[in-house]
Structure 1
């Protein structure tokens, strides 16, 4: 999946307003200061604070809030 570069340039973490970066698999957007990942579902970034997944959980395979690793 390719997220539009212009869209990526204007997106920011809704919690702290820091820049976000694509995960290596391009399936989420990482906020380094918050140590959180906002998932991308069907090519749409889900930029809701309550949908963010802690970075440690994301690295362990969790891709949805409240779900275990797949």
Structure 2
């Protein structure tokens, strides 16, 4: 994912910072504990498509 794109993207729920997890192809919002998928290099920033982070992933 391009660094410039990551700098302007924000969590659609809280408008907070996202962290890119390249191994899982996801954008992570630590505050809301959501992981948004990145499919074919396109972030899917829809809350209903995000998955909840497990308690192990939060740390």
Which is richer in strand? 2
How many residue pairs match? The answer is 56
Please, what is the CA RMSD of the aligned residues? Answer: 1.7
Superposition TM-score, scaled by structure 1 size: 0.73
Residues 1-70 of structure 1 mapped to structure 2, 5 A cutoff: 3-25=1-23, 27-56=25-54
Structure 2: where are the runs of 5+ without partners? none
Structure 1: where are the runs of 5+ without partners? 60-70
Which is richer in helix? 1
Structure 1 runs, 4 residues or longer, greater than 4 Å off:
none
Superposition TM-score, scaled by structure 2 size: 0.86
